[in-house]
Amino acid sequence: MSVTRRALALVLSALVLGATAPAAWADQLADIKAARKIRIAVAMGIPRFAFVDAALQPTGSDVETARMIAKDLGVALDLVQITNAARVPTIQTRKADILVASLAVTPERKKVIDFTVPYATLNIIVAGAKGVAVKGYPDIVGKRIGVTRATVNDMLVTQNAKGAEIVRFEDDATLITAAVSGQVDLVSTQEAVVAVMNEKRPDRPFEVKFVQSELNLGIALPQGEDALKSWLNEWVKTNVANGRLTTMFRKFHERDLPADLTSRN
């Protein structure tokens, strides 16, 4: 009896400790500088944003952004590689200091984590094989559509196409496999992902059916870290204005960032 009770107390105290531990960070910016290391989370397997190159080294516009931030802070970079669905929880539980992982700024996410001003944008689209007639959300109802879980795509399709058979995969890489192997003939994703799909299924290429939304991507950080947030905001504004971020972005995406980017929301 007392053994079980003791075990229970142990589990409970572990839970409480685990939950309170983040309180130890008072000013994260100071802590990062003191540790001489910043932990930046990126979601790998996202074409153009974060992927591994031919030499198996992580690269992409998100990874390069992370490298630039660490360099300008004058600290070492600890790249924390996570999955798409783990993006918000990673910041909530402070497994990383900040997150640069093509995460769109949404009101729901703002309730639990903080965002900087947008550092990039992303068009999300519905794409499908040629024969599939889709012009808007109502046409998706009754069809099978592939999405990556915990994305804005997932949210928009779930809300606007009730009655569709939504198949959710854990990351873009699995979604691409599903499209290439023919499990889905319709996907909600971003243009870069469709480009990769078409490289691998040249006989039945996907075409863009309609644009769902243009998303503003923000660097995510835990709530209440005002010093870190204002440093990052300044950094984004400066490097968009002087063209460093935009030049790097264009290298991977072959398009320009909108002119009003950093003044959005």
Partner 1 sequence: MHYRFDFAALEEYWPDFLSGALTTLQMTAVATVLGLVIGILCAIGRRSPRAWLSGLCGAYVEAVRNTPYLIQIFFIFFGLSSIGVRLPVLAAAILTLVINVGAYTGEIVRAGMDTIPAGQVEAAESLGLSRAQIYWDIILRPALERVYPALTSQFVLMMLASSITSQISAEELTAVANNITSITFRSFETYIVVAFLYLALAVLLKLAFWGLAQALFPRRRRLGTPL
Candidate residues 64, 79, 105, 109; the one interacting with partner 1 per rule CB under 8 A: 109
What residues contact 248, with CB distance under 8 A and at least 6 apart? 61, 64, 65, 68
Q: Are 66 and 101 in contact (CB under 8 A)?
A: no
Ramachandran angles phi, psi of 51, nearest 5°: -155, 175
CA distances from 206 to 92, 147, 162, 192 (A): 36, 15, 23, 12
Task: Select 85 or 98, whichever has its Cβ closest to partner 1.
Answer: 85
Q: What is the dihedral of CA 263, 119, 257, 101, to 10 degrees?
A: -140
Candidate residues 50, 73, 82, 85; the one interacting with partner 1 per rule CB under 8 A: 85
Task: Select 28 or 61, whichever has its Cβ closest to partner 1.
Answer: 28
Farthest-apart Cα atoms in the chain, separation = 68
Task: Select 168 or 253, whichever has its Cβ closest to partner 1.
Answer: 168
Q: Which stretch binds partner 1 (CB under 8 A): 47-55, 64-72, 104-112, 208-216?
A: 104-112
Using rule CB under 8 A, residue 22 touches partner 1: yes
What residues contact 35, with CB distance under 8 A and at least 6 apart? 75
Min dist CB 217 to partner 1, Å, is 17
Using rule CB under 8 A, residue 150 touches partner 1: yes
Min dist CB 95 to partner 1, Å, is 12
Residues 153-192 close enough to bind partner 1 by CB under 8 A: 154-155, 167-170, 174, 177-178, 181-183
Query: Mind giving me the DSSP string for 50-87?
Result: BEE-TTS-EESHHHHHHHHHHHHHTSEEEEEEE-GGGH
Q: What are the residues binding partner 1 (CB under 8 A)?
A: 16, 19-20, 22-23, 85, 88-89, 92, 108-109, 111-112, 146, 149-150, 154-155, 167-170, 174, 177-178, 181-183
